[in-house]
Amino acid sequence: MNLQSVKTIYQAEMARSLRTVLQSIVSPVVSTSLYFVVFGAAIGSRISEVDGVSYGAFIVPGLIMLMLLTQSVSTSSFGIFFPRFSGTIYEILSAPISYFEVVLGFVGAAATKSMILGLIVLGTARLFVPFSIQHPLVMLLFLTLTALTFSLLGFIIGIWADGFEKLQLVPLLIVTPLTFLGGTFYSIDMLPPFWQAVTLLNPVVYLVSGFRWSFYGTGDVSIWASLAIITLFLGIALAVINWIFRTGYRLKP
């Protein structure tokens, strides 16, 4: 493996995030803090507990997951789209570096940034509500797998999109709504039976539930089902990226 090439791409992408620190780091943290103020204070005063956990603490894993999904997709998609837009992608593809190393550099940087943001939001949440993490290793596992999987999804979107409008299409119209409807601010047990069954078709439910289980030992679905879903997502994303590079989809002029 050409580690120097991977390191170069990785460092370039991380440097790009640092150059736009207000947009890439401060803005997501401020937005998430506002969720704590609005939902934790306003709604939390009306809902005392959910599954034996105070409402303010209950929404912490959901808010971290909401930020993690959206930031992973947007960072990774823009990271690969901009070289395609500017034409520098052909310099990367003609260099003595494998497709795997290209993906590792871009996706690794996006996943790292998303995980850092997730940990920052986790620390910020401490300023608003007290909470515990019963299974810290499982929490880190879900944090890593989710950031990696959705960074791969963002990479696919960045290859597929042929304009900035399409670049925002999937995050705004699919990922964010599914996250809001995936148990971020509520337990699906609070829904009528019919809508509980419908909600279980939303794959984000399993991600939020598994991440919440690592905090409080309780979730809407089994922890094993959550791990199976995120592993399945990861496998599908890797298979799609393998097809993209094997066929040259949207990469060859």
Residue 229: predicted pLDDT: 94
**pTM reported for the whole predicted model:** 0.90
The full set of domain ranges for the chain reads 3-247
Element (H, E) at 156: helix 136-160
Q: At residue 244, does pLDDT exceed 80?
A: yes
Q: At residue 253, does pLDDT exceed 70?
A: no
- Per-residue pLDDT of 34-79, as tens digits, reads 777 777 666 666 677 777 888 888 888 988 998 899 889 988 999 9
Element (H, E) at 215: helix 203-216
- Per-residue pLDDT of 71-113, as tens digits, reads 899 889 999 998 888 878 888 878 888 888 899 999 999 999 9
For the record, the structure tokens of 213 come out as 């289980």
Q: At residue 223, does pLDDT exceed 90?
A: yes
CB-based contacts of 152: which residues, under 8 Å, 6+ apart? 76, 103, 107, 234, 237, 238, 241
